[in-house]
Structure 1
Amino acid sequence: MCGRNSLFIDQADLEARFDAQVVADGGYSPRYNITPGDNLHIITAEASDEIDAYHWGLIPFWADQPEEGIINARSDTADEKRVFEQAWESRPCLVLSSGFYEWKAPNGGSKQPYRIYREDDPAFAMAGLWEVWEGDNETISCVTILTTEPNDLMNSIHDRMPVVLPQDVESDWLTADPDTRKELCQPYPKEDLDAYEISTRVNNPGNDDPQVIKPLDHEQSGLGEFNSG
């Protein structure tokens, strides 16, 4: 799954990376600890040259009142779920990230957080679906992140991972038909995804600063450590 995100690249570099301009209300500020219910910066198929910010948690259209919403959707079954039906058909988006976080409980002990990031890319895109929830007095644009089976790196940390899109298929995700997009929902295939242990500062949503991404013990943990037991 994906329960925490970050996006802290400079705005000019972010806009250059995705060839899009920030249009979100409130602009853009670097975030090191984005939690469900916060805003995620996204790019939709309807406005591929704009970076907007949507509520993280897709609120079911039948909900009478706004709620936190569904933060993750399984890509293998999303097309079968009524709550995602319209979004799957016509509302794909790119969820922008500088790295996401996952927790592992070795031998049933305390959960250890990890930061997962792309070595060669200070910002990348995860596959998402967006929707607009309409209430009596408000509308909320909201988003969920699609997940898939783990790749070799993530397999030692968690049994699911977000659909991280290679850069060369980001535009395809936005423009392809639903069947083609489902084929793109694969474990990240390249070897530039890496992970390291971080401190439990990330557990507190109030901690939203560069210290969150500091490697534990000042040393990055490589894949070999994850596979050693």
Structure 2
Amino acid sequence: MCGRTSLFAPAAELRERFDATVPDDYRPRYNVAPSEPVEVVTNEAPDRIDRFRWGLLPEWADADDEGFINARSETAAEKPAFEAAWESRPCLVLSSGFYDWKPVERGPKQPYRFHRENEVAFAMAGLWERRETSAGTLDTVTVLTTEPNDVVEPIHHRMPVILPRDEEATWLTAGPDERESLCRPYPGDDLDAYPISTAVNDPSNDSPSIIEPDESEQSGLGEFA
């Protein structure tokens, strides 16, 4: 599952990390919700970071629909909503870290931040779709999910497909069969997670304080891994 994300790396570092131009109006964001713009690199323009609406809208969906923020990688090729995009429209969804929530015995779920250590940003595997509407061209995107790895499993039963750095270009250029082989729990040992404040629950809260550890909870997941 990936229902909230962030991207706050400086523009210059994003440009160097993905060898791509950055939108002039790029600004760091710490709490990106569905239906909001997310930064992507598509197979159509691999040397440019674009901004697409988060929530893929297939051709038959109403342009006002929220769309699909996630797609199960195991079945995307078979689903009418995703089969065309799976065939020919892969993209990278750029992130500084994503969030998910763990049920607790009492009270609201505990949010956690997941990030890759020593990375200014990383790429989640996505699919994109383009629609012509009465208001103009609308580009939308979904994040592919897979089974959780050892870090995510104690928190949630799904996780985004996180691509190792050396597989990002392959994701954009390979055919569907090869891309399918990349849809697996993140294999690296640099993914970490820690609890954060429930302030992230409100998308209007978008500041660096969002990623600060929640000192009332145990930081890290070493006991689970």
TM-score after normalising by structure 1: 0.94
Distance 1:216 1:94, change over 3 A: same
> Any residues of structure 2 matched to 1:13-162 within 5 Å, and which?
13-23=13-23, 27-107=25-105, 109-162=107-160
Deviation at 1:215, TM superposition (A): 0.5
What is the CA–CA distance in structure 2 between the aligned matches of 1:138 and 1:170, rounded to whole Å?
Answer: 30
Q: Contact 1:59 / 1:142 at 8 angstroms: preserved in 2?
A: yes
Q: Does 1:182 align with 2:180?
A: yes
The share of aligned pairs that are identical, in percent, is 61
> Any residues of structure 2 matched to 1:176-215 within 5 Å, and which?
176-215=174-213
Deviation at 1:226, TM superposition (A): 4.2
Q: Which range is displaced more, 58-67 or 177-186?
A: 58-67
Residue matched to 2:5: 5
Give the letter for the 1:217 counterpart: E
What is the CA–CA distance in structure 2 between the aligned matches of 1:78 and 1:49, rounded to whole Å?
Answer: 26
Q: Contact 2:145 / 2:160 at 8 angstroms: preserved in 1?
A: yes
Q: Contact 1:64 / 1:135 at 8 angstroms: preserved in 2?
A: no
Q: Which range is displaced more, 11-20 or 63-72?
A: 63-72
Query: After superposition, what is the alpha-carbon deviation per residue over 1:115-147, rounded to whole angstroms, capped at 9, x for unaligned?
Result: 000012120000000001223443210000000
Query: After superposition, what is the alpha-carbon deviation per residue over 1:182-206, rounded to whole angstroms, capped at 9, x for unaligned?
Result: 0000100011000000000000011
Deviation at 1:108, TM superposition (A): 6.3
What is the CA–CA distance in structure 1 between the aligned matches of 2:37 and 2:151, rounded to whole Å?
Answer: 27
Q: Which runs of 4+ in 1 moved over 6 A?
A: none
Q: Contact 2:159 / 2:185 at 8 angstroms: preserved in 1?
A: yes
Deviation at 1:214, TM superposition (A): 0.5
SS in structure 2 opposite 1:55? Answer: strand
Q: Contact 1:61 / 1:134 at 8 angstroms: preserved in 2?
A: no
Give the letter for the 2:210 counterpart: V
Give the letter for the 2:122 counterpart: F
**Structure 1 residues without counterparts, runs of 5 or longer:** none
Of 205, 219, 222, the match for 1:221: 219
The count of corresponding residues between Structure 1 and Structure 2 is 225
Query: After superposition, what is the alpha-carbon deviation per residue over 1:145-204, rounded to whole angstroms, capped at 9, x for unaligned?
Result: 000000011010100000000001000000011000000001000110000000000000
Deviation at 1:221, TM superposition (A): 1.4
What is the CA–CA distance in structure 1 between the aligned matches of 2:106 and 2:87, rounded to whole Å?
Answer: 40
* Structure with the largest fraction of helix: 1
Give the letter for the 2:186 counterpart: Y
TM-score after normalising by structure 2: 0.96
Deviation at 1:15, TM superposition (A): 0.5
SS in structure 2 opposite 1:186? Answer: coil
